[in-house]
Structure 1
Amino acid sequence: MLCLTAQSALQGRSDRSAWQYTRADTPGTGSVRWLAVTDHFHGEQVLRIHVVAGPDSPSPGFPLPRAGEVVASPAMQRLFASTPDDQLDDRFPGEVTGTIPVDLLSHPEQLIAVVGGEVPGMFTAAGIATSPDHAFFAFARIIVGIAALVLLVPVAVFVVMASRIAAAQRERRLAALRLVGATRSQTAAIAAVESGIAALAGTFAGWLAYEGLRRVLASSVTYEGFPFHAADVRAPLAALVLVPLLAVLVSVFPLRRNASKLPTAVRALPLAVGIGGLFLVTYTSAAGFDELAALFVISTVVGALVVGPWVCLQVGRLLARARSATTALAARRIEHDPKASFRAASALVFAAFAATYLSGLVSAYGDLPGTGIPPGVVTVFDGRDREIVSDGTMADEERIRTREAIASPNAIINTRREFVLRERRLWDDVESAVHFAVTIVVVVAGCGVAAGAAGGVLERRRSFALLRASGTTLGQLRRVVVLETGVPLVAMTGLGVALGVLTLVATKGPLPTPGFAAVVASGLAVALLVAATPLAVLERASGIDAIRPGTSA
């Protein structure tokens, strides 16, 4: 549910601030004179809106000010009170007579003021805008939707792996019911109800956690440097239905997997074509390859997923060379079914690959100066485009900006600081989102690996019990389980990161910062701890009772 809140958060921010983007062609039944100007103060964006309201003027949700009046947001009013008039307040002539409701701000700390009175450059609108229509918002929603799907992949894998716990015992029990007269539909209904009850309980617990965490998310996660309204951070209620439904569907379909052929090196071919093609496009001038760049990218992404089982097989064979008996047992398990070993951690390959590549792109902006840019040139665009040099102090820069805004209210006044600060904030937010996504994916993938390992332990109760009876210690069996679960987890994370770095090199992109490695290492450490949870059931599962007649093999 947390993964799905980004869409509503962006939608809510855009809907709340839609009135601020009123245009001359905005439909309506009234009439209002309007001019919105983007301003800045100490690098922070300030929106100044000039209005002339009449008796039939529409309302954005609060009374429009008359000439000589100002209506400002709470954050703007605090800034007025703490700033000399010649640096800020004089740009907004009039007395503050009202407050813009927080619900009509894009974020709680938005700096915006509506000033009553006629100024040059105003236009007449018939209504106040009520819905966003700018293209960037639609693009951002697409990106967020793709990111949500990436985050949900390990969740779906986890549900599938969790449903496989004790699958063999469940199938034998249902088979026994069939022998005493139960129909196939009745046994399917029993399996569905069992899984559904557990899934409903888990979904309810997850919803309680979501209700508590979404408020923390709203206040701590930023977009363009600012947090969200808590009411906008909400997930569609359909998520509450889809999770138990997925669990029920998985429980109804056959859970036993048939043996399949071992993967071969042919699986590495799409990846080799993709990476090799990117190198050709970037480092050579061969004709015709530029048009194939998109296909090489797709081949790289698909190849990263296809090659996973083969990599697991090679890792298992490498482990098999060890002289340790526990390592050899774990290696044989991975070798026997590398596709199963990869399946539990499959989400990690693409997630780590995408996160590494994005983190590398973000690192290119890590050295951009922000507020440390010394005050200097103020650029004024008012039809007489010109540059004004300050005395080197921030206060004088703001006085220049105020003086020019009074002389020409519709002028666009900028310094390099605004562009750099906004760009840096945007990329900082992207970097934080990437790190957050990597951590979530790695931890949830660890849960999937743990669920698969727990199912494997329960299915091999008799084998483990025979090993203990023949002299293998419980500690040795624990090391076997840790290796079985941990090695694929580490291998798939490493594969994704390595492919991400290789793709950056192939496209001449900057490498990720050392901080990204720390994030990956931390997430992987937590995932390994989660993946070790099957150890809790190992002692009981390998007890002497598992060898007695009637127990599972």
Structure 2
Amino acid sequence: MKTRGTEIFRDQLIERRDFAALPSATVKIPGVGTPPEPGSYFASPELQRLIESTPGDQLGNRFGEFAGTISDSALPGPDSLVVITGAEEAELRGSGTASLVSNFTSNPYGGSAAGYTTVLIIGAIAVFFPVLLLISIVTGLGAAQRRERFATLRLIGASPRTVSHIAAVEIAIPSLIGAMAGVLAAALLSPATAQIPVNGTRIFVEDLRTGWLGAVTVVAVVVAASALVAAVRTARADVGPLGVSRVVHEKRPTAWRTVPLLLGLACMAAAVALIRILEFRLPWLESPLLVGGFLMVLAGIVAIGPWLTRMVSRAGARHARSAATVIAASRIQRTPVATFRSVSGLVIAVFVVSVFAGASSVIQSTDAPAARPGLLQPTSLHAAIGPGQSPAAVLGAATAAKELAGIRSAIVGYGPAALSERGSGSELFFSAADAPALGFTDIPASETVAVDGEFLYFWTAQPLELTPVPSGNMEGLVPVVMVLGTDGTPEAMDRARTALDSSGITATPAASTSDFQLQSSRRLIHGLSVLAYLGMFVAVAIAGLSLAVGTASAILDRQRVLGLMRLMGMPPFVLRRVITREAAVPLLSVLVLSIGLGFLTAWLMVTAIDDSYQVDWPEPGYFTALGLSLVLACCAVVATFGLVRGSTAMTVTRFE
């Protein structure tokens, strides 16, 4: 049998579990084994260090006698603050919040497991998709560089299938070496990566290691994807004995390319409607709709890019005022797919960054009310008194609490029954002499006053008023709550919290109106935002490399044409302007769409988890990531300017 609660020390959360072993119990607690004896506790190593370095009346007295540490296998990280305490069976049954435990699960998300697992899968796909685009672009660059060699093979009798196989093997070998180097780098960097705090704790190094099976799977997938893309792109290039056709004819993109994107959004919207509007819980359908919809949105952005690029280039060609603009617009209209492919990685990166930023900006709209008369003061703590406690024991605990340093008042509230954790709506009865210490200024002329039980809780935003109670109406009432007022210092707050939690008369942990900000899911969201921004960094870095490789591939693909322009007298700076415009037009054509779709996707994902979440304005880090994306785009294009001059030199063109 167990109860679940959360202790607070300063601004840190301590996960507490109270256990009572039944006589027939055979269940083993993860990380502990046999439940601790009543009055003793097991603590995580970090919590025990905190207990030993803090006066007992501020923390350690809440838990009892130290019985041992919790093993790392049951902790999320080395900085985790977790305590498992032993209690009497009757004590837990009387709390009203106890539950019988027959086994334990490794699932950390409980009923929301499907939603959070779906989000994690989507995050992994969002980071891996730019990698696939990079593989496609790199294989395209390799095909452009080996074009003449493939033509020679065709000339001496090699079939197109044989050439495709050779291209696949050529890309598979360096891919294998690169993938193995990546696995080795991941293993070497794991200790440093584990130092990054996520949700207030670092990560165990062992949790970052996938094992040999995961490493082999990643290497196999990367090598297979690289080889397959190389073979397909070489076969589609149609290399003949005399080389590749000088003019690449692409099928004109049409508005039908919007279908995958619309289908993806429809799938995600259907999942949200199923969960929030129809209120059906079908995990076997919700997750496929969200994950499949996200994949279609990613593919849809890549599919719709060439169509939008062609539309924009047609408009630009009508208003062209320079040779560079005319040449760039003409080439984009002829080859919109190839042109967009070079910037597709950065477009997807902007989309991924927007999704991460939107998801990590999730907030809950409830805020703590400002301190004012008629509301529980933020320097006070309260705890519900357990049923069956004698008034004498409660008054004795209040007297003992008032003797502690920093405790200014200890007030007992009476009622017809113990308040539940969220308040029962019953009235609380106090002595009128104690009302000023509770923060009231307008006090009726009566020995006893009453106030609504909602007075204790943070969601009460409007000040409440006291009502007079005629003498004699206190009969039949029992102590239901104790409120300790402090001087507001962290030491006094923790001392008061410890006094309440270790008094033996309370049924709920001590709480203040500011505690909910630590306990709300906002803390988890902010913790996960660390992972989100790491994902942003990875996506943007890969996208910058993709743009540089794609631009270089486009230059090599048109080396002869650009070289002939140089022979005709075109200055190199004009060619550089052409390359810049060819990268800028497709990027800017889809950039705004990617940002909007990113935040829409984030809203659909978080709404599917909990409709109380709201997507707020992103943090400054998002705009920094966007700025970094644009800087990388400029650097990637500028880095190819040397290739423009070298590959289009007059001597090179004449030799060819």
345-354 or 190-199: bigger deviation: 345-354
Do residues 209 (structure 1) and 179 (structure 2) align? no
Corresponding residue SS for 1:225:
coil
2:395 is aligned with 1:391: no
Deviates more, 1:412-421 or 1:234-243: 412-421
Does the residue aligned with 1:129 lie in a helix, a strand or coil? coil
Contact kept, 8 Å, 2:357 with 2:619, in 1: the verdict is yes
Q: Which stretch of structure 1 is more off in the superposition, 140-149 or 524-533?
A: 524-533
- 2:472 counterpart of 1:375: no
Q: Within 1, Cα distance between the matches of 2:535 and 2:594?
A: 14
Query: CA 1:250–1:358 in 2, change beyond 3 Å: closer, same or farther?
Result: closer
Question: Is the 1:485–1:532 Cα contact (8 Å) retained in structure 2?
Answer: no
The yes-or-no answer on 1:533 pairing with 2:639 is yes
Q: Which amino acid aligns with 1:77?
A: Q
The code of the aligned residue for 1:217 comes to T
**Residue 463 of structure 1: how far off its partner (Å):** 1.6
**Superposed displacement of residue 521, structure 1:** 1.2
Q: Is the 8 A contact 2:195 2:203 kept in 1?
A: yes
Mapped to 2, the partners of 1:375 and 1:413 lie a distance apart of: 12
Give the Å deviation of 1:46: 1.5
- Residue 82 of structure 1 corresponds to 53
**C-alpha deviation, 1:251, in angstroms:** 1.7
Taking only the aligned residue pairs, the percentage that are identical comes to 30
Greater shift, 99-108 or 254-263, is seen at: 254-263
Q: How does 1:353-502 map to 2 (within 5 A)?
A: 353=351, 355-356=353-354, 359-360=357-358, 362-363=360-361, 365=363, 374-380=378-384, 382=386, 384-385=418-419, 388-392=482-486, 393=488, 394-406=490-502, 407-408=504-505, 411-422=508-519, 423-499=521-597
Q: Distance in 2 between matches of 1:542 and 1:179?
A: 26
SS at match of 1:428: helix
Choose 138-147 or 387-396, whichever is displaced more: 387-396
Matches of 2:27 and 2:179, distance apart in 1: 48
Structure number with higher helix proportion: 1
Aligned equivalent of 1:330, options 315, 328, 331: 328
Q: Which segment drifts farther, 333-342 or 490-499?
A: 490-499
In structure 2, C-alpha distance between the alignment counterparts of 1:126 and 1:364, rounded to whole Å: 33
**1:67-101, CA deviations, whole angstroms, 9 ceiling, x for partnerless residues?**
6654322211222123332222111112x353333
Which 5+ residue runs of structure 2 have no aligned equivalent? Answer: 238-247, 269-276, 279-285, 372-377, 388-417, 420-479, 608-613
User: Secondary structure of the equivalent of 1:48?
Assistant: strand
SS in 2 for 1:87: coil
Q: Aligned pair 1:131/2:128, yes or no?
A: no
Per the alignment, do residues 433 and 322 of structure 1 end up closer, same or farther by CA in structure 2, a change over 3 Å counting? farther
Task: Compute the RMSD of aligned alpha carbons.
Answer: 4.3
Corresponding letter in the other structure for 2:595: V
Residues of 1 paired with 2:264 and 2:124: CA distance? Answer: 25
Question: Any conservation in 2 of the 1:74–1:99 contact (CA below 8 Å)?
Answer: yes
8 Å contact kept, 1:160–1:250:
yes
Other structure's SS at 2:570 match: coil
With normalisation by structure 2, the TM-score equals 0.65
- Partner of 1:40, secondary structure, is strand
Shift of residue 104, structure 1, vs aligned partner: 3.2
Matches within 5 A, 1:120-269: 120-121=91-92, 129=104, 131-132=106-107, 134-168=110-144, 170-183=146-159, 186-222=162-198, 224-235=199-210, 236-237=214-215, 238-255=217-234, 256=236, 259-264=249-254
Distance in structure 2 (CA, Å) of the matches to 1:101 and 1:166: 51
* Distance in 2 between residues matched to 1:331 and 1:484, nearest whole Å: 8
Distance in 2 separating the partners of 1:156 and 1:361: 23
The secondary structure found in structure 1 opposite 2:76 is coil
Alignment CA distance shift 1:528-1:323 (3 Å): same
CA distance, structure 2, for counterparts of residue 533 and residue 380 of structure 1: 67
Quickly say closer, same or farther: Cα 1:146–1:72, change in 2 above 3 A: same
The verdict on how the C-alpha distance between 1:480 and 1:234 changes in structure 2, with shifts beyond 3 A counting, is farther
Partner of 2:16: 48
Any unmatched runs of 5+ in structure 1? 1-23, 25-33, 279-289
Structure 1 residues 50 and 432: alpha-carbon distance in aligned structure 2, compared to 1, 3 A threshold? closer
1:99 aligns with 2:74: no
Greater shift, 351-360 or 194-203, is seen at 351-360
Give the whole-Å Cα distance in 2 for the aligned partners of 1:50 and 1:486: 61
Change (3 A) 1:391 1:158: same
Matched to 1:340, the amino acid is A
- Evaluate the alpha carbon distance shift between residue 117 and residue 504 of structure 1 in structure 2; reply closer, same or farther with a 3 A threshold: closer
Residue 84 of structure 2: which of 114, 122, 129 is its match? 114
Give CA-to-partner distance per residue, 1:261-283, whole Å, 9 cap, x none: 4335676699899999x9xxxxx
Task: Give, in angstroms, the shift of residue 520 of structure 1.
Answer: 1.2
Question: Does structure 2 retain, via aligned residues, the 8 Å contact 1:331–1:484?
Answer: yes
**Residues 388 and 348 of structure 1: is their aligned pair in 2 closer, same or farther, counting only changes over 3 Å?**
farther
Distance in 2 of aligned mates of 1:275 and 1:233: 33
1:493, CA displacement in angstroms?
2.8
Q: CA deviation at 1:231?
A: 1.3
Q: Distance in 2 between matches of 1:194 and 1:305?
A: 27
| One-letter amino acid matched to 1:250 | V
Distance 1:362 1:202, change over 3 A: closer
Q: Secondary structure at the residue paired with 2:8?
A: strand
Change (3 A) 1:172 1:128: same
- Structure 1 partner of 2:625: 519
Paired residues of 1:454 and 1:534 also in contact (CA < 8 A): yes
Secondary structure of 1:121's counterpart equals helix
Judging changes above 3 Å, is the alpha-carbon distance between structure 1 residues 514 and 347 closer, same or farther for their aligned structure 2 residues?
same
Query: Alignment partner of 2:639: what SS?
Result: coil
* Cα deviations by residue, 1:490-513 (Å, 9 ceiling, x for unpaired): 443333124557899999964445
Paired positions, count: 503
TM-score normalized with structure 1 length: 0.76
Matched ranges for 1:62-73 at <5 A: 65-66=36-37, 69-73=40-44
Measured after TM superposition, the shift of residue 357 of structure 1 is 5.9
Q: Give distance in 1, aligned partners of 2:603 and 2:47.
A: 46
| TM-fit CA distance, 1:132 | 3.1
